[in-house]
Every structure is written in C-alpha cells, then in structure tokens.
Amino acid sequence: MKTILVTGGAGFIGSHLCKKLFEQGNKIICLDNFFTGSKKNVELMLADKNFKLVEHDIIEPFFTEEKIDQIYNLACPASPVHYQYDAIRTVKANTIGVINMLGLAKSHGARILQASTSEVYGDPAEHPQKESYWGNVNTIGPRACYDEGKRVAETLFFDYHRKHGLEIRVARIFNTYGENMAENDGRVVSNFITQALLNNDITIYGNGSQTRSFCYVSDLVNGLIKLMDKQGFIGPINLGNPVESTIKEIAEKIIIQTGSKSKLVYRPLPQDDPKQRRPDITLAKEKLNWQPEIKFEDGLKKTIDYFKKIIA
Ligand code: NAD
Ligand code: UDP
C-alpha cells in the first residue's frame, strides 16, 4: 500500500484517478481548493479511512507528517473559461503551487507526476504533435496564463530533477472527456452535451473546422498510472487519443447520439484558439505499452448518461 497525494483530486480527471488508485489498495490524500472540483466527485470514498480529503490551495505550502510515496499534481483549472477567470491565480498555481509540490516531493523523497498539457504546443505548426516539437505559444494572449504556466511547470520539474535528482514524470495530456466534468465547465464536450440534452442551440466557435482529438477519461487515467509506475522513464510523454475530428463533426455526433432537436449556431472563435491538434503517441506505445481503447461513441454514451442524471 502506497500513500499517494493527488492535487486537484476532486476535479474531473483527479476524481477518476483517486478512485482507481484507491481501488488498487492505496491510501489517498486528495487535496483540492474546490475552485472547479467538487466533494460530490469523491463522495463514495469519503467514509473510508484510507481516503482523506483536504481543502487546500497549492499556492500555499502543504505539510504532513504522513510519509508520501507519490504525488500526482493536477491542481489547476483546465477549461479556458475557468483558467482565464483569474489568470494571475492560474500562473501562481503553475509556478508557486508547482514549486510547493516539488518541495513537498523533495522532503518526502516522493515521485511526482505533472499533469502537463497539449497546450504547451500552442497553436501547433507541426501536425500531429510529437514530444520533440517545441510549440507555438503567444506569450501575451489570454491563453498564456495556462499555456506558459504549464510550460514553466515542465521547466521547474526538469530543473528539480537535474538539481536535486527528484524522481519526476511529465505527461502531456490531450483533450479528455467523461463523467464528472462540471456542467458549467465551458469545454466543448460538456457544453455540447448539455445544450443537446436541453434542445438549446449548440454554440460552435468559429466555423467548426478546427480539430481536436478526444480521449475517454478511463484510458487517460490508465496512462497516467502507467507513466508514474514506469521505472527509468520521465517523459515528457503525450497521452491522448489520436483519432482527430473537427468540432463541427463532434457537434453532429452529439446531436445524433442524444436525439436532440438542437440547431448549430456559430459564435466568434476565441483568440489564439488552436486550429488543429492530434497527439503522436508512438512514444507512449513504445515506453508504456499504452494506447486508448475506448471508442468515441462508447465514451460519449457514458458521458451523455452522466449528464442526463445531472440535468434531471
Ligand atoms: P478540473 O478543473 O476539473 O480539475 C482541476 C482541479 O484542481 C479542480 O478540482 C480544482 O478545484 C482544483 N484546483 C484548481 N486550482 C487549485 C489550486 N490552486 N489548489 C488546489 N486545487 C486546485 O480539470 P481537469 O480536466 O480534471 O484537469 C486536471 C489537470 O489535468 C489539470 O492540471 C489540467 O491542466 C490537466 N489537463 C487536463 C486536460 C483535459 O482535457 N481535461 C487536458 C490537458 C491537461
Ligand atoms: N468550442 C466550441 N463551442 C463551445 C466550446 C468550445 O466550438 O461551446 C471549441 C473551442 O473554440 C475549441 C474546441 O471547441 O476550438 C475545444 O475547446 P475546449 O475549450 O473544450 O478545449 P481547448 O480549446 O482547450 O482544446
């Protein structure tokens, strides 16, 4: 049994990660400031002595007597709407917060994994994106608090590794979807499903020709755990589903699968919105023997069923 700290553990991905690690027989400390996460996402584990939920902001240092073996650092709002709400706080989470968690890992001799992102590639000029690509990010735009924040977080991880020999892992996560996404999350899959279920207009930003590649959350969580437990490989490594779709295709699939009467409406494309995104996962296949298994239609069905209950 390991003691594992998951920051952002009450959020979308964090709650699935906590559940899986908990089911594997580990002791979980779930740390969250509940900015976008919710106690409800982890409520089934709350009564167990091997699950501890701590309200804490990683921008403040965290101390514990309990010996921590592993840290998954997920604490950061991930939806553009939420990370831009207080951009300076987003930068703080990815700098001061990350330094706090790296310091904690150092003092416990723990291995630490960073939830990095495909946003480090910005609006990519190379397609699909390989880990060797350095990216194309606007340093002063509205997405920079997140993109540059996540880039400097990777830098900090590698500097702690070089200077202090810290055991690090860096996962570059591509668009992920599934149950426990917040209804007001603002990201495309949750927005479109909610709109479709309510027969409201489906809001396509731009002309809908921009692409993303969507990974179901259970696949992603398996990849994160494989990376954490892999000996001798620190990353960075892409984790995502290489099946690429336009945003318009996603809207059409959601209309069909929900049987919705919604119409597509077009809204201005947000500034610096990446035009294309697809992970090259050759490295994940090679190093982790990992690739996504859940088809979009199947993951979408589970996600739609979840939102049906939430909306009801
Ligand atoms: P989310 O917003 O649902 O989860 C983030 C969690 O972190 C929430 O529970 C929130 O309350 C918490 N949090 C935010 N700031 C905090 C702080 N300063 N201190 C403590 N807790 C804080 O988002 P998610 O989709 O679950 O993303 C989790 C991580 O994965 C994030 O770091 C995100 O950048 C990364 N990621 C996600 C995706 C994706 O498609 N979901 C893609 C790339 C990277
Ligand atoms: N998007 C959209 N309508 C929405 C929400 C998002 O057309 O209601 C678009 C958005 O402009 C982007 C894509 O969907 O091109 C994915 O957006 P999301 O916020 O989910 O993630 P990210 O841009 O960070 O990949």
pLDDT of residue 312: 87
With a 6 Å cutoff on the Cβ, whether 175 touches ligand 1 is yes
Do the domain assignments include residue 34?
Answer: yes
CA distance 96 to 118: 21
- How many CB atoms are located within 10 Å of the residue 285 CB? 11
Quote the pTM value.
0.99
Q: Are 62 and 100 in contact (CB under 8 A)?
A: yes
**Does residue 9 belong to any structural domain of this protein?**
yes
* Cα 11 to ligand 1 centroid, rounded to whole Å: 6
Question: Does the C-beta of 117 come closer than 6 Å to ligand 1?
Answer: yes
CATH number of the domain bearing residue 160: 3.40.50.720
Indicate whether residue 221 lines ligand 1 (CB < 6 A). no
Number of domains in the chain: 1
* 85 SS3 class: helix
Residue 17 falls within a domain, yes or no?
yes
- Which of 188, 267, 273 should be mutated for ligand 2, with most atoms under 8 A from CB? 188
The 10s digit of each residue's pLDDT in 245-254 is 999 999 999 9
Task: Give the DSSP H/E element, type plus range, for residue 176.
Answer: strand 176-177
Looking at the domain assignment, is residue 82 inside a domain?
yes
Q: Does a structural domain hold residue 249? A: no
pLDDT for 72 equals 99
CA angle 184, 207, 137 (to 5 degrees): 75
Domain holding 135, by residue range, is 3-179+215-242+274-293
Mean pLDDT by 10 residues, the chain (312 residues): 98 98 98 98 98 98 98 98 98 99 98 99 98 98 98 99 98 98 96 98 98 98 99 98 98 98 98 98 98 98 98 90
Residue 72, burial from CB neighbour count under 10 angstroms (0-12, 13-18, 19+): buried
**Using the 8-state DSSP alphabet, how is residue 136 labeled?**
B
Is 85 inside a domain boundary?
Answer: yes
Burial class (CB in 10 A: 0-12, 13-18, 19+), 134: exposed
